[in-house]
């Protein structure tokens, strides 16, 4: 007999998500690039908007990926009402800085001269974190003062920059407090830092893949946010976990595993074996995360994304909130 | 057969640049290419500037520094061809310091810059100037006589664009006469103090001061003044590097992506941008592409009809070599379900690959790498990954 097949049980372990994951006014979704961060941020925003909460979803430097999920035209608009109760805004860091100069200076003639000045351009390009700080200042305004529009937003979600850059993004207020010792930037930094560190107001959600590099980066990011920056991570979502229907144990003797006669059978077995190998690898890294991270983990199955729109967001939401995650029994 | 474009690039080009957004396996592919170059007898250096230390992981190294580390390839086929593989992870802070040291006119100037608060914060944070440094440092590496081939793994997309545009932006800045006009008052300011300067001088500096505070501006001006001497050296360097990158005889650029919506979107935008910048974009690699177990529509239909036929499923168990005493039909059904899932993923991937072909430039050769069942975490896996791009190394001795 070549192949032993085990059928996974339907009841895996299931950890309740913390209430804080959904209840806080500000949620920052972050993680390494390419792990599906934007999809998760969009799905969570969709859930809030459907529940009737006025929701603001921020992209940093780009909202094209977000607009795609809401099936909106992805032309370069900075602000789009994608659904009732849901607005997407792009935080373009250079534009924000120009805006800030205009607001603070007041006189158009003077502010225009500054903005067009090469020294200003150079300064703004190299000034440590100044653009990030202004992006965060907008987020702060959205949470506390209902920017834009004046009516308070009930939920603000950030599709935050990818890891390496992401840590720096949220660390900017702390660095800035030391750099800008006076002036409006200093005052801004203090306010933002307070908001980000306030466990009643801000939650972080990390998105990762169950693979070596994303997991090690997620562990670093988690440690950085929680232990060094005193921020509150409420959930870790493990995306693109490979779905398996069968858990096959392949006979170590390859001669025995070769099904006779039909080349299709060989390819079917190869596909099943591939799924099994990916799944086992995923399980290994989920175990690593579960051992090292003290917040609820949820698995999101790998989704084929030919038409990655609202339907895909629904599938994501179902995976995060509705069904217990089936486990093939590697864990526990 | 290997991917001809890259095979030839390894043979003929000196600098191979891999671009792409994060998480697509760009670093592994750059390293795999470098490895196969080495196994063809070249002396190859692979450089990463990605802050994520993936290359180090791929090569099984604990940590890479700004020094080129030799990788032992002796047990791999082709090692007898006499090539070598070195790897380097660019640490931006160190690279910046090295660069400053190179252009500083005196030890005193050097120390002033290195201790400038502004300089320190800039080189420690990622605020845009790092790309200047990376660019300039790359030039050093490309010019090293001890390497035949340099493979560069750039930072994720957005930052990579900064990286390519850095020389132009820097030249734009240095070219303006206004910079000189600004440097002079700031220079005077250093000598006579802020008060004199502020009374009669530029409104703009005064306004900036209000916004960011006196200390920041004074550090900034000191930074510019201390930097002034080094500008001409850096400017020459920028021009040379830009020339190198654009020189299609020496250099080839490629974009790596995954076969999913967002990664392909980014690759398309990036491809267009590179072409606009006049960069020699020479290849595309779609990584982690699912393979369908169904070759023909008939294969697919057979499996789908089997899934609806309980007795056929049970009968198939022996032919597939499936061993499940209680429920052979259910076991076979699960296997077929997994195969159908793979087919579904493969179909979605093909959809995005078609978009990539059509929109990134139909004339640019595209290679696809299958989704592998394991991580690339050591030299053997790296070799295996490379074998999807390159023919097996032949012994030339």
Q: What is the pLDDT of residues B16-27, one digit of tens each?
A: 999 887 778 888
Burial A47-81 (b: 16+ CB within 10 A, else e): bbbeeebbbbbbbbebbbbbbbbbebebeeeeebe
**pLDDT score for A118:** 62
Residue B145 token pair: 């006589």
pLDDT (average), residues B268-286: 91
**pLDDT score for A41:** 96
- Please check whether residue B64 is in contact with residue B53, taking contact to mean a CB–CB distance below 8 angstroms: yes
Taking only Cα atoms into account, the Rg of chain B, rounded to an integer number of angstroms, comes to 27
What's the rounded Cα separation, in Å, for the pair B84 and B110?
36
| pLDDT-based confidence at residue B110 (cuts at 50, 70, 90) | confident
Q: Spell out which residues of chain B touch residue A105, defining contact as CB-CB under 8 Å.
A: 207
Tell whether B28 lies on the interface with A, counting CB pairs under 8 A.
no
**pLDDT score for B228:** 63
Residue B171 token pair: 């030249």
CA B48 to chain centre: 7
Cross-chain residue pair A104–B320, CB shorter than 8 Å: no
pLDDT greater at residue B100 or residue B370: B370
Cross-chain residue pair B158–A128, CB shorter than 8 Å: no
pLDDT for residue B397 is more than 70? no
- Please check whether residue B165 is in contact with residue B278, taking contact to mean a CB–CB distance below 8 angstroms: no
Closest of B95, B79, B10 to residue B46, by C-alpha:
B10
pLDDT for residue B159 is more than 70? no
**pLDDT score for B199:** 46
Cross-chain residue pair A2–B341, CB shorter than 8 Å: no
Phi, psi of B108 (to 5 degrees): -65, -50
Q: Spell out which residues of chain A touch residue B173, defining contact as CB-CB under 8 Å.
A: 118, 121-122
pLDDT for residue A70 is more than 90? yes
Interface of B with A in 331-360 (CB under 8 A): 331-339, 341-345, 347-348, 351-352
Interface of B with A in 292-311 (CB under 8 A): 293-295, 299, 302-303
| pLDDT-based confidence at residue A123 (cuts at 50, 70, 90) | low
pLDDT for residue A277 is more than 60? yes
CB nearest A168 (choices: B125, B260, B348): B125
**pLDDT score for B229:** 63
Cross-chain residue pair A3–B323, CB shorter than 8 Å: yes
**pLDDT score for B193:** 46
Tell whether B265 lies on the interface with A, counting CB pairs under 8 A.
yes
Residue B294 token pair: 């169904």
What's the rounded Cα separation, in Å, for the pair B212 and A114?
14
* ∠ CA A87-A305-B23, rounded to 5°: 85
Q: Which of A175-184, B220-229, B376-385 has the least mean pLDDT? A: B220-229
Cross-chain residue pair A5–B302, CB shorter than 8 Å: no
Average pLDDT, chain A: 81
In chain B, pLDDT over 70 holds for what percent of residues?
Answer: 71
pLDDT for residue B353 is more than 90? yes
B66-69: long-range contacts (C-beta < 8 A, 24 or more apart)?
Answer: B66/B90, B66/B91, B66/B94, B66/B95, B66/B98
pLDDT greater at residue B46 or residue A3: B46
Please report, to the nearest 10 degrees, the dihedral formed by the alpha carbons of residues B2, B6, B12, B15 taken in order: -150
pLDDT (average), residues A86-96: 86
pLDDT for residue B341 is more than 70? yes
Question: Residue A323 carries which DSSP code?
Answer: S
pLDDT for residue B204 is more than 70? no
CA B382 to chain centre: 17
Cross-chain residue pair B215–A181, CB shorter than 8 Å: yes
Q: Spell out which residues of chain A touch residue B212, defining contact as CB-CB under 8 Å.
A: 127, 130, 180, 183, 185
CB nearest A126 (choices: B128, B260, B339): B128
CB nearest B323 (choices: A5, A127, A185): A5
Interface of B with A in 69-128 (CB under 8 A): 117-118, 121-122, 124-128
The residue ranges of every structural domain in chain B are 4-174+231-290+371-386, 297-353
CB nearest A260 (choices: B50, B319, B344): B319
**pLDDT score for A81:** 94
pLDDT for residue B365 is more than 90? yes
CA A278 to chain centre: 23
Cross-chain residue pair A306–B373, CB shorter than 8 Å: no
Closest of A324, A329, A323 to residue A246, by C-alpha:
A329
pLDDT for residue A35 is more than 80? yes
Q: Spell out which residues of chain B touch residue A304, defining contact as CB-CB under 8 Å.
A: 344-345, 347-348
Q: How far is CA A285 from CA A38, A211, A215, B228, B372, in A?
A: 22, 6, 7, 50, 16
Residue B128 token pair: 């845009």
What strand order describes the sheet that includes A247-250?
A247-250, A3-6, B322-323
What's the rounded Cα separation, in Å, for the pair A145 and A219?
34
In chain A, pLDDT over 70 holds for what percent of residues?
Answer: 81
Q: Which of A25-29, B29-33, B274-278 has the least mean pLDDT? A: B274-278
Closest of B64, B55, B67, B13 to residue B31, by C-alpha:
B55
Highest mean pLDDT among B9-23, B107-121, B223-237: B9-23
Question: Helices B26-39 and B4-12 sit at what angle, rounded to 10 degrees?
Answer: 60
pLDDT for residue B185 is more than 70? no
- Could you tell me if residue B38 is left (phi over 0), alpha (psi between -120 and 50 degrees) or otherwise beta? alpha
pLDDT for residue B286 is more than 90? yes
Please report, to the nearest 10 degrees, the dihedral formed by the alpha carbons of residues B123, B128, B131, B133 taken in order: -30
Cross-chain residue pair A32–B23, CB shorter than 8 Å: yes
Find, in chain A, the residue whose alpha carbon is nearest to that of B202. Answer: A114
Helices (H), chain A: 20-23, 37-50, 64-69, 93-105, 108-116, 118-126, 130-145, 163-179, 183-197, 212-223, 254-257, 263-292, 310-317
What strand order describes the sheet that includes A79-83?
A79-83, A86-91, A55-60, A155-162, A26-31, A202-209, A233-241, A297-301
Q: Residues 6 or more apart from A317 whose CB is under 8 A from it?
A: A43, A44, A46, A47
Q: Which of A192-206, B53-67, B109-123 has the least mean pLDDT? A: B53-67
According to DSSP, the residues that pair with A39 across neighbouring strands are none
Q: Spell out which residues of chain B touch residue A209, defining contact as CB-CB under 8 Å.
A: 23
Kind of pairing between the strands at B69-71 and A55-60 = unpaired
Q: Spell out which residues of chain B touch residue A261, defining contact as CB-CB under 8 Å.
A: 319
Tell whether B22 lies on the interface with A, counting CB pairs under 8 A.
yes
Closest of B243, B256, B248 to residue B18, by C-alpha:
B256
Q: Which of A166, A170, A264, A280 to mutate to test binding with chain B, by most B CBs within 10 Å of its CB?
A: A264
pLDDT (average), residues B144-155: 90
CB nearest A126 (choices: B122, B156, B179): B122
- Could you tell me if residue B200 is left (phi over 0), alpha (psi between -120 and 50 degrees) or otherwise beta? alpha
Residue B82 token pair: 């006499």
* ∠ CA B224-B230-B231, rounded to 5°: 70
Phi, psi of A90 (to 5 degrees): -90, 125
Tell whether B194 lies on the interface with A, counting CB pairs under 8 A.
no
pLDDT for residue B324 is more than 50? yes
Cross-chain residue pair A183–B210, CB shorter than 8 Å: yes
What strand order describes the sheet that includes B43-48?
B69-71, B84-89, B43-48, B149-153, B15-19, B251-258, B281-289, B366-370
Q: Residues 6 or more apart from B282 whose CB is under 8 A from it?
A: B5, B9, B248, B252, B253, B254, B364, B365
pLDDT greater at residue A327 or residue B211: B211
Give tens-digit pLDDT for A235-276. 999 999 998 887 665 544 444 555 567 889 889 988 888 888
**pLDDT score for B201:** 47
Q: Which of B337, B373, B374, B384 to mutate to test binding with chain A, by most A CBs within 10 Å of its CB?
A: B373
- Locus of tokens 């250096």: B45
pLDDT for residue B278 is more than 60? yes
Cross-chain residue pair B182–A119, CB shorter than 8 Å: yes
**pLDDT score for A21:** 82
| pLDDT-based confidence at residue A332 (cuts at 50, 70, 90) | very low
pLDDT for residue B146 is more than 60? yes
In chain B, pLDDT over 90 holds for what percent of residues?
Answer: 35
Give tens-digit pLDDT for B66-76. 788 899 999 99
pLDDT for residue A1 is more than 50? no
Q: Which of A167, A306, A313, A328 to mutate to test binding with chain B, by most B CBs within 10 Å of its CB?
A: A306
| pLDDT-based confidence at residue A121 (cuts at 50, 70, 90) | low
Interface of B with A in 224-263 (CB under 8 A): 258, 260-263
pLDDT greater at residue B105 or residue B150: B150
Q: Residues 6 or more apart from B368 whose CB is under 8 A from it?
A: B259, B285, B286, B289, B353
**pLDDT score for B242:** 80
Find, in chain B, the residue whose alpha carbon is nearest to that of A254. Answer: B321
Cross-chain residue pair B220–A258, CB shorter than 8 Å: no
**Got the DSSP string for A161-219?**
EEHHHHHHHHHHHHHHHHH--SHHHHHHHHHHHHHHH-TTTEEEEEEEESSHHHHHHHH
Cross-chain residue pair A211–B261, CB shorter than 8 Å: no
Q: Spell out which residues of chain A touch residue B295, defining contact as CB-CB under 8 Å.
A: 264, 267
CB nearest B320 (choices: A117, A259, A308): A259
Q: Which of A127, A132, A243 to mutate to test binding with chain B, by most B CBs within 10 Å of its CB?
A: A127
Which CATH architecture fits B4-174+231-290+371-386? 3-Layer(aba) Sandwich (3.40)
Q: How far is CA B231 from CA A126, B135, B235, in A?
A: 15, 15, 6
According to DSSP, the residues that pair with A81 across neighbouring strands are A87
Q: Which of A172-186, B50-64, B241-255, B340-354 has the least mean pLDDT? A: B50-64
**Got the DSSP string for B213-260?**
-HHHHHHHHHHHHHHHHHHHHHHHHHHHHHHHHH-TTTEEEEEEEESS
pLDDT for residue B300 is more than 70? yes
CB nearest A308 (choices: B216, B261, B334): B261
Residue B330 token pair: 């259910």
């Amino acid at each position: 007999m070549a192949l032993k097949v085990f059928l996974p049980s339907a009841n895996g372990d299931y950890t309740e998500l913390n209430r804080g994951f959904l209840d806080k006014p500000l949620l920052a979704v972050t993680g390494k690039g390419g792990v599906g961060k934007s999809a998760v941020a969009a799905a969570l925003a969709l859930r809030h908007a459907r529940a009737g909460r006025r929701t603001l979803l921020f992209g940093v430097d780009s909202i094209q990926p977000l607009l795609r999920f809401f099936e909106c035209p992805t032309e370069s608009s900075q602000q789009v009402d994608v659904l009732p109760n849901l607005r997407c805004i792009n935080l373009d860091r250079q534009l924000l800085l120009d805006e800030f100069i205009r607001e603070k200076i007041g006189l158009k003639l003077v502010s225009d001269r500054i903005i067009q000045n090469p020294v200003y351009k150079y300064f703004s390009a190299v000034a440590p974190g100044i653009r990030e700080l202004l992006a965060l200042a907008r987020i702060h305004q959205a949470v506390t003062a209902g920017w834009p529009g004046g009516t308070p937003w009930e939920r603000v979600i950030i599709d935050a920059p990818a890891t390496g850059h992401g840590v720096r993004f949220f660390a900017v207020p702390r660095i800035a407090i030391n750099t800008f010792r006076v002036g409006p930037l200093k005052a801004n930094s203090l306010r933002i830092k307070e908001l980000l560190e306030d466990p009643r107001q801000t939650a972080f959600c990390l998105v990762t893949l169950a693979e070596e590099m994303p997991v090690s980066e997620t562990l670093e990011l988690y440690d950085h946010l929680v232990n060094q920056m005193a921020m509150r991570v409420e959930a870790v979502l493990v995306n693109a976990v490979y779905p398996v229907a069968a858990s096959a144990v392949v006979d170590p003797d390859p001669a025995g595993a070769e099904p006779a006669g039909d080349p299709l059978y060989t390819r079917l077995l190869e596909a099943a074996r591939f799924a099994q190998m990916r799944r086992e690898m995923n399980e290994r890294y989920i175990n690593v995360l579960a051992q090292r991270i003290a917040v609820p983990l949820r698995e999101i199955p790998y989704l084929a994304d030919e038409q990655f729109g609202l339907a895909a967001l629904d599938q994501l939401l179902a995976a995060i909130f509705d069904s217990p995650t089936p486990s093939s029994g590697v864990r526990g | 057969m290997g991917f001809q474009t890259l095979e030839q690039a390894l043979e003929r080009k000196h600098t191979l640049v891999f671009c792409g957004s994060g998480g697509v396996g760009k670093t592994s592919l750059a390293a795999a290419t470098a490895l196969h170059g080495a196994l063809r007898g070249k002396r190859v250096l692979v450089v990463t500037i990605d802050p994520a230390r993936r290359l180090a992981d791929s090569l099984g190294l604990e940590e890479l520094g700004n020094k080129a580390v030799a990788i032992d390839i002796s047990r791999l086929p082709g090692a007898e061809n006499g090539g070598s593989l070195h790897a380097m992870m660019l640490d931006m802070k160190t690279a910046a310091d090295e660069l400053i040291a190179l252009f500083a006119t005196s030890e005193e100037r050097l120390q002033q810059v290195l201790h400038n608060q502004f300089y320190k914060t800039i080189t420690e944070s990622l605020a845009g100037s790092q790309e200047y440094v990376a660019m300039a440092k790359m030039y050093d590496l490309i010019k090293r006589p001890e390497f035949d081939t340099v493979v560069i793994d750039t930072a994720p997309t957005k930052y990579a664009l900064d990286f390519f545009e850095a020389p132009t932006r820097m030249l734009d800045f240095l070219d303006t006469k206004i910079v000189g006009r600004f440097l002079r008052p700031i220079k005077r300011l250093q000598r006579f103090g802020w008060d004199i300067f502020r009374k009669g001088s530029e409104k703009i500096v005064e306004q900036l001061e209000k916004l960011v505070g006196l200390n920041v501006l004074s550090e900034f001006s000191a930074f510019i003044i201390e930097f002034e001497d080094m500008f001409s050296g850096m400017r020459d360097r920028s021009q040379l590097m830009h020339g190198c990158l654009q020189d299609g005889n020496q250099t080839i650029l490629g974009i790596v992506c995954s076969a999913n919506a967002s990664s392909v979107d980014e690759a398309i935008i990036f491809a267009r941008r590179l072409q606009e910048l006049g960069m020699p974009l020479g290849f595309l690699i779609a990584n982690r592409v699912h393979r369908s177990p169904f070759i023909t529509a008939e294969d697919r239909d057979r499996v789908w009809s089997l899934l609806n036929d309980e007795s056929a499923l049970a009968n198939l168990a022996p032919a597939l070599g499936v061993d499940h005493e209680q429920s052979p039909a259910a076991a076979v059904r699960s296997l077929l379900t997994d195969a159908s899932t793979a087919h579904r993923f493969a179909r979605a991937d093909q959809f995005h690959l078609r978009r990539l072909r059509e929109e990134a430039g139909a004339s640019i050769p595209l290679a696809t790498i299958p989704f592998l069942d394991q991580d690339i975490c050591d030299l053997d896996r790296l070799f295996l990954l490379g074998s999807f791009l390159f023919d097996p190394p032949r012994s030339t001795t």
